């Protein structure tokens, strides 16, 4: 049944708004991207303050404001370490106009978002103050801009103010001294070694926080907080932008222009050829992990060539992460999860980063697997199929962004303008970005993408870190792994085992059912249909987002106990089926405790494809009743924290989930729709590893089960009409169960 047949005006965009109607642009690599930010009233006051003002109605009657200051902890002298962060705290404490935390009281009184790490952040290169305020009353916007104006030049730094804030800053300092904070700081120092950044962590030094004088804080504030170093950004539900510009002038134009302000210096980070290593043993660590980071120079996005390189880089990370994901879903994987990304560290440097979480004593295996995969890309490159998947993914992302451009949140737009001011990141508008994607993506080759693996070479400012709860891998072990992988690169390394993608999920269309009953819920504008196989479908048309369809299929389990051990349930989709969905869906699993949900987000045109994948190839358990009731156990693996799930091998098989969440327990759940009921049968076994089981449905109300295991585990059989418990010392082992 096609619930979304045709092109409903309630769901699909008008043709003139559609992505496919966008024309390609004629560009050359050396063409300069627009420097003036798109869609915003942009300018500079006579005193040097830059401003950005844009009207945006998402959400209604709200505005996202920010004061961005190009002043961070790297500008501190030795006796000032931590002062940039202290200034941020003092701003909310008292200014010339507002005293005794009046700013906090004002924000709370109007229902503005306020809290720790929510309204301001201090980093090495900048400090950003943010407000998200209601604007249903004109005076609220004026008062909010007035608050930011006070932050810019009127922060009060008295002895009493400083003493009141020392405690809060010290508490934040102590909170950052946990295991995670200590390891992050140590890794930062290794990456930044030889530069001032290594010695200027924003949190500062405890000694300075305790003893710094008001005069020192005031000197830092007066030296660097000048209008030329600041920008005021306002994005919100404004009737017009000019009135907001006038408010900015009212509150900021009387601020004096500094005649000879000090220039903001640029600090370099020295490169190094030999990898640096750190092996952390931390009892508080949640598990074992590996991180590989390589510093590369920060390149400003100025030309079309730079934009093309950015797209190629994004394709590289997508293709590499797909390989990592597939490796994590194999038998005895080298890690539980692994991902790669680029991250801006400071104004002059960004890092290529790979991180993985792995089993205890498995850090060297995880590291070797990560490095080998990068070497494999460097030697053989990505296949054309991998590149086509990455290309389709990026095209789908920009299409969604374009079709939903009128639903962009004000806070996201504000953040774009913040980065334009701080890092000269161009804001060219989503329409031009979409045109660039359509123009450039088809011509980005596999070799062009694969070359980004060179940025992970361990001779390029590489830092390797491992984290373990108990001592296992040493620095020498890590060095040996790197040497071993380097020798592989010099010798030979095999091609990636690529897989074939089927052309379709369902090769033979099933016989259609019919609607037994249709219910209308006018109070919420929803419709529910009860189908002939017992499935209930509920749908609602909204205008929240253009061109988006959300699907959710739930298997409800009315049991108090459905989990054993520490782990959570996670299902691996069959990879070839997943690739069919590239450009259409964002699939996901949820297991909140009493139910499981398979969900997908897709464009309306992809509704049928998404439904086929969701129903047939995931956790829509009642499909087993429609297609035949044969459950086959494919594989079982246990181990500390590992989770492996058996997948069906044909359309007639219902999913069987094996969960081995600890060494001493496992969970087996069989969910199928028994005959004329809508209940689900669930088996939970607790015992040592290695049990075998068999079960058969003998009647509509009883599910009998036996388990074979030397320790005689308990088997719980839950059913809507009752619950039986069997304690078995033996039983017939079976590889499959027939309903």
Rounded percentage of the chain residues whose pLDDT exceeds 70? 69
pLDDT on residue 47: 95
- Which position among 76, 88, 578, 673 bears the catalytic label? 88
The set of residues, in sequence order, having a beta carbon less than 8 Å from that of 451 and lying 6+ positions away, is none
- The structure tokens listed for 493 are 């390394």
Q: Which of 76, 126, 130, 165 is catalytic?
A: 165
271-290 pLDDT per residue, tens = 999 999 999 998 878 889 99
pLDDT for position 657? 32
The residue that leads in pLDDT, 521 or 623, is 521
The Cβ-side half-sphere exposure at 650, using a 13 Å CA radius, reads 8
For residue 414, report the phi and psi dihedrals to the nearest 5 degrees.
Answer: -55, -45
Give residue-wise pLDDT tens across range 548-578.
555 554 433 322 222 222 222 233 233 344 4
**Bond into 59 cis (ω within 30):** yes
Cα separation, 42 vs 33, whole angstroms: 17
Omega prior to 552 cis, within 30 of 0: no
Could you tell me which of 225, 228, 236 has the C-alpha nearest to residue 95? 225
Distance between CA atoms of 706 and 695, rounded to whole angstroms?
A: 6
Mean pLDDT of 485-492: 80
Give pLDDT, residue 607. 56
- Average pLDDT of the residues in 211-240: 97
Give the model's confidence band at 601: pLDDT under 50 very low, under 70 low, under 90 confident, else very high. Answer: low
Arithmetic mean of pLDDT over the chain: 76
Measured CA to CA, the distance from residue 31 to residue 397 in angstroms comes to: 24
145: alpha, beta or left, given left = phi > 0 and alpha = psi -120 to 50? alpha
CB atoms near residue 9 (< 10 Å): 8
- 154 as an active site residue: the answer is no
Task: State pTM to two decimals.
Answer: 0.74
Task: Quote the pLDDT of residue 10.
Answer: 42
Q: What is the pLDDT of residue 115?
A: 60
pLDDT of residue 499: 74
Q: How many CB atoms lie within 10 A of CB 262?
A: 11
Q: What is the CA 385 to chain-centroid distance, rounded?
A: 25
Q: Are 665 and 640 in contact (CB under 8 A)?
A: no
Ranges assigned E (strand) in 237-348: 276-281, 288-297, 337-346
pLDDT-above-90 percentage for the chain: 55
Q: What is the DSSP string of 191-250?
A: HHTTSGGGG--TT--HHHHHH--HHHHHHHHHHH--GGGEEEEEEE--S-HHHHHHHHHH
The contacts of residue 93 (CB under 8 Å, 6+ apart) are: 101, 156, 161, 164, 165
Class of domain 41-253: alpha beta
How far is 390 from 318, CA to CA, in rounded Å? Answer: 6
Instruction: Specify the DSSP class assigned to residue 653.
Output: B
608 band by pLDDT with thresholds 50, 70 and 90: low
Structure tokens at 569: 């349930």
Instruction: Give the pLDDT band (50/70/90) at residue 613.
Output: low
Question: Containing H/E element for 656?
Answer: strand 656-662
Write down the H helix ranges in 634-712: none
The string of pLDDT tens digits covering residues 291-335 is 999 999 999 999 999 999 999 999 999 999 999 999 999 889 999
What gap in Å lies between CA 206 and CA 35, rounded to an integer?
42
The confidence score (pLDDT) of residue 17 equals 55
pLDDT of the residue at 178: 86
Where are the domain boundaries for CATH 3.30.830.10 in the chain? Answer: 41-253, 276-487
Given a contact cutoff of 8 angstroms between Cβ atoms, the answer to whether 353 and 342 are in contact is: yes
Q: Furthest-apart CA pair in the chain: how many Å? A: 90
Each residue of 673-718: pLDDT tens digit? 333 333 333 333 333 333 323 332 322 222 333 223 323 333 333 3
Q: What is the DSSP string of 496-554?
A: P---PPPS-S-SSPPPP--EEEEEEETTTTEEEEEETTS-EEEEE---SSTT-EEEEEE
Range with the poorest average pLDDT among 50-64, 326-340, 341-355, 602-616: 602-616
| Mean pLDDT value across residues 220-234 | 97
Which H/E stretch holds residue 589?
strand 588-590
What are the residues whose beta carbons fall under 8 Å from the beta carbon of 137, sequence distance 6 or more?
A: none
Give tens-digit pLDDT for 339-359. Answer: 999 999 999 999 999 999 999
Strands (E), 84-183: 120-122, 127-134
- Pick the closest to residue 634 from 658, 610, 618, 662 (CA basis): 658
Q: Which residues contact 528 (CB under 8 A, 6 or more apart)?
A: 518, 519, 521, 536, 537, 538
341 close to 325: Cβ distance less than 8 angstroms:
no
The pLDDT value given to residue 508: 80
Residue 618 in this model has a pLDDT that exceeds 50? no
Residue 152 has pLDDT above 80, yes or no: yes
- Residues 6+ away with beta carbon under 8 Å from 533: 513, 622, 625, 626
φ, ψ dihedrals at 584, nearest 5°: -125, -45
pLDDT of residue 628: 29
What whole-number distance in Å separates Cα of residue 723 and Cα of residue 739? Answer: 18
- Can you tell me the distance from the alpha carbon of 711 to that of 681, in angstroms, rounded to the nearest whole number? 24
Task: Indicate if 652 belongs to the active site.
Answer: no
**Measured distance CA(84)–CA(517) in Å, rounded:** 65
Query: Which of 6-20, 311-325, 411-425, 671-685 is least confident?
Result: 671-685
Tokens of 443: 């011509």
**Residue with token string 């037994």:** 516
H/E stretch holding 251: helix 241-252
Report the relative pairing of strands 462-468 and 276-281 from DSSP bridges: parallel
- Predicted local distance difference test score (pLDDT) of residue 534: 83
Which pLDDT score, from 0 to 100, does residue 185 have?
Answer: 93
Q: So what's the architecture of 276-487 in CATH?
A: 2-Layer Sandwich (3.30)
Q: Which two tokens stand for residue 593?
A: 């405790």
Sort 72 into a burial class: Cβ within 10 Å, 0-12 / 13-18 / 19+: buried
pLDDT at 306: 97
Taking Cα atoms as reference points, which of 69, 82, 221 lies closest to residue 156?
221
Higher pLDDT: 445 or 616? It is 445
pLDDT-derived band of residue 442, with 50, 70 and 90 as boundaries? Answer: very high
Q: Is 688 in contact with 664 (CB distance < 8 Å)? A: yes
Specify the pLDDT at position 606.
59
Q: What is the mean pLDDT of residues 111-117?
A: 66
């Amino acid at each position: 049944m096609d619930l979304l047949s045709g092109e409903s005006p309630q769901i699909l965009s008008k043709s003139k708004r559609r992505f496919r109607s966008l024309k390609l642009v004629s560009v050359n690599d050396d063409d300069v991207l627009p420097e003036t930010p798109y869609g915003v009233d942009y300018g500079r006051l006579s005193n040097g303050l830059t401003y950005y003002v844009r009207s945006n109605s998402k959400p209604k009657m709200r505005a996202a404001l920010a004061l961005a200051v190009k002043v961070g902890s790297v500008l501190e002298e030795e006796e000032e370490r931590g002062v940039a962060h202290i200034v941020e705290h003092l701003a909310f404490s008292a200014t010339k106009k507002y005293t005794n935390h009046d700013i906090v009281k004002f924000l709370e009184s109007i229902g503005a978002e306020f809290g720790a790490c929510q309204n301001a952040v201090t980093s090495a290169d900048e400090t950003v103050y943010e407000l998200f305020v209601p604007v249903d009353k004109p005076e609220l916007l004026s008062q909010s801009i007035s608050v930011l104006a006070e932050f810019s030049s009127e922060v009060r730094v008295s002895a009493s103010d400083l003493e009141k804030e020392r405690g809060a800053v010290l508490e934040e300092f102590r909170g950052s001294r946990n295991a995670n904070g200590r390891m992050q700081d140590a890794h930062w120092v290794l990456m930044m070694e030889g530069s001032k950044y290594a010695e200027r962590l924003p949190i500062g030094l405890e000694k300075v926080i305790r003893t710094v004088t008001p005069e020192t804080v005031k000197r830092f504030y007066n030296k660097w907080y000048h209008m030329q170093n600041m920008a005021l950004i306002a994005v919100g539900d404004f009737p017009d932008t000019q009135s907001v510009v006038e408010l900015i002038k009212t509150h900021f134009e009387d601020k004096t222009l500094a005649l000879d302000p000090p220039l903001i210096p640029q600090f370099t980070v020295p490169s190094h050829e030999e990898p640096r290593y750190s092996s952390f043993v931390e009892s508080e660590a949640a598990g074992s992990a590996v991180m590989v980071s390589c510093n590369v120079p920060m390149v400003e996005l100025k030309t079309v060539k730079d934009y093309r390189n950015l797209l190629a880089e994004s394709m590289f990370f997508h293709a590499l992460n797909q390989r990592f994901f597939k490796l994590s879903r194999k038998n005895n994987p080298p890690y539980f999860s692994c991902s790669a990304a680029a991250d801006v560290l400071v104004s002059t440097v960004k890092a290529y980063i790979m991180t993985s979480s792995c089993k205890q004593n498995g850090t060297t295996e995880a590291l070797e697997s990560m490095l080998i995969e990068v070497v494999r890309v460097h030697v053989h490159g990505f296949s054309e199929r991998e590149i086509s998947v990455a290309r389709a993914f990026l095209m789908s992302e920009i299409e969604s962004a374009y079709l939903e451009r009128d639903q962009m949140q004000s806070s996201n737009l504000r953040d774009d303008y913040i980065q334009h001011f701080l890092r000269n990141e161009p804001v060219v508008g989503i329409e031009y970005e979409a045109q660039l994607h359509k123009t450039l993506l088809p011509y980005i080759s596999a070799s062009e993408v694969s070359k980004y693996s060179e940025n992970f070479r361990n001779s390029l400012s590489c830092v390797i870190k491992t984290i373990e709860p108990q001592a296992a891998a040493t620095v020498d072990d890590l060095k040996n792994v790197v040497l071993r992988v380097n020798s592989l690169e010099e010798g030979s390394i095999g091609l990636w085992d690529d897989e074939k993608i089927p052309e379709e999920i369902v090769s033979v269309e099933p016989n259609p059912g019919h609607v037994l009953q249709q219910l209308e819920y006018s109070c919420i504008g929803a419709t529910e249909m009860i189908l002939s196989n017992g499935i209930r479908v509920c749908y609602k048309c909204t205008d929240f987002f253009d061109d988006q369809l959300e699907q959710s299929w739930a298997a409800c389990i009315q049991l108090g106990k459905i989990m054993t051990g520490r782990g959570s349930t996670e299902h691996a989709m069959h990879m070839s089926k997943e690739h069919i969905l590239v450009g259409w869906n964002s699939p996901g699993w949820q297991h909140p405790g009493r139910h499981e949900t398979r969900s997908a987000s897709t464009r309306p045109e992809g509704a049928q494809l998404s439904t086929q994948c969701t129903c047939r190839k995931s956790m829509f358990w009642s499909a087993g009743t429609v297609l035949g009731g044969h459950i086959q156990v494919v594989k079982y693996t246990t181990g500390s924290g590992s989770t492996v799930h058996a997948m069906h091998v044909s359309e007639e098989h219902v999913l069987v989930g094996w969960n081995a969440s600890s060494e001493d327990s496992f969970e087996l759940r069989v969910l199928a729709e028994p005959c004329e009921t809508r209940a689900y049968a669930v088996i939970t076994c607790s015992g040592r590893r290695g049990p075998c089981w068999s079960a058969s449905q003998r009647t509509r109300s009883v599910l009998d089960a036996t388990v074979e295991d030397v320790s005689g585990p308990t088997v719980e059989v839950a059913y809507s009409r009752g619950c039986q418990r069997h304690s078995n010392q033996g039983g017939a082992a079976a590889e499959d169960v027939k309903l």
